[in-house]
Structure 1
Amino acid sequence: MRFLLRFLGIWLLAGGFVALVLDGVRSIASSEVVATPLGVTWLASHEDSLAAFQRWVSDTLPGGTWDLLVAPVLQTPLFIVLAVIGLVLMLLGRPRPA
């Protein structure tokens, strides 16, 4: 189980690094800082799943959860979200101290 957590963590960190490089290239090309939000990437990748997730959040969680918790995460740059989740998974999967 620890191996799987570390494996997924490394892949998410790598994905975050790729997203950072892509945003860096776009920033250099446009001469201004560009950071692609998670929501934009999700919307471009699979629009139906984002709509289904929004319906699920509004149906199962208390009112206002979308606006207070989910919307700010969707506005966070993709590389930050992937890096944080990757680091958490790697910390959860680290070997026990001897």
Structure 2
Amino acid sequence: MIRFILKAISLVALVVAVMAGTIDAIQSVSASEPVLTPLAVAWSTASPDTIALVADGIMRNLHPYAWDPAAMWVLSQPAFVVLLAVSLFFWVIAYRRPPVAGRFTA
């Protein structure tokens, strides 16, 4: 069950990453130069209240230094790259190796 949830999270992150990459590609073609939307801009456009909620939670529960250098660096990266990394992370966690001997062995 947990593997299914992790794979579902990976799929949702992949779909959103493809959408963000498509939007960036369309904007790049129309501007005739590369346009990469940072995660902070995309997140604040989609849901401005949750970014403040996450920042407050990180500063209160972890440490303020976890927000300033670490989270701010992640938020300044292109949205599709971060979401692809999140998708890959959850897929790797949910991955199960196939049996070495094969499918039909006892």
Q: TM-score, normalising length from structure 1?
A: 0.87
The Cα RMSD (Å) is: 1.5
Counterpart in 2 of 1:59?
A: 60
Give the 3-state SS of the residue equivalent to 2:40 in structure 1.
Answer: helix
In 2, the alpha carbon distance for the partners of 1:95 and 1:43 equals 35
Letter in 2 for 1:85: V
Percentage of matched positions with identical amino acids: 30
Counterpart in 2 of 1:3?
A: 4
| Count of residues in correspondence between the two structures | 98
Where do 4+ consecutive residues of structure 1 move more than 6 Å?
Answer: none
Give the 3-state SS of the residue equivalent to 2:95 in structure 1.
Answer: coil
Q: TM-score, normalising length from structure 2?
A: 0.82
Moved more, 37-46 or 55-64: 55-64
> Where does structure 2 lack aligned partners over 5 or more consecutive residues?
100-106
Structure 1 residue 96 displacement after superposition: 3.1
Counterpart in 2 of 1:86?
A: 87
In 2, the alpha carbon distance for the partners of 1:28 and 1:59 equals 42
Residues 68 and 28 (structure 1), Cα distance of their counterparts in 2 relative to 1, 3 Å cut: same
In 2, the alpha carbon distance for the partners of 1:64 and 1:5 equals 29
In 2, the alpha carbon distance for the partners of 1:54 and 1:8 equals 21
- Look at both structures and tell me which one has the larger radius of gyration over its CA atoms: 2
Give the 3-state SS of the residue equivalent to 2:64 in structure 1.
Answer: coil
